[in-house]
Amino acid sequence: MSSEKCFIEQTATTNILLKVTNVCSECYADLKEGSVIFYDLRGCRYICYLCHERIAPLMSSECNMDSDEPLLF
């Protein structure tokens, strides 16, 4: 099942970082201008590339978590 519709890939811009945050909501890594970031439509948050790669395979095509494995805590 594909979880691609659960995320929107974007490039971090100054405008995005000023309005939202400058850290990944999952791992708190710094998001830098020009970095590839993903907007998680289910969680309404921006996440970094590495967290997207870890989370996306765990999500169903309906954007629900298929795993009970904790993500951050």
In this prediction, residue 61 carries a pLDDT of 81
* pLDDT per position as a tens digit, 47-66: 999 999 999 998 888 888 77
* pLDDT per position as a tens digit, 2-22: 567 899 999 999 999 988 888
pTM (predicted TM-score): 0.80
Residue-range domain boundaries for the chain: 4-58
Q: Could you tell me the pLDDT band of residue 42, with boundaries at 50, 70 and 90? A: confident
- Round to whole Å and give the CA distance between 17 and 29: 13
CA angle 24–8–73, rounded 5-degree value: 35
Q: Which of 56, 42, 48, 51 is nearest to 11 (CA)?
A: 48
Q: Letter for the amino acid at 30? A: D
DSSP SS3 for 57: helix
Report, as an integer, the average pLDDT of 40-47: 89
In this prediction, residue 13 carries a pLDDT of 94
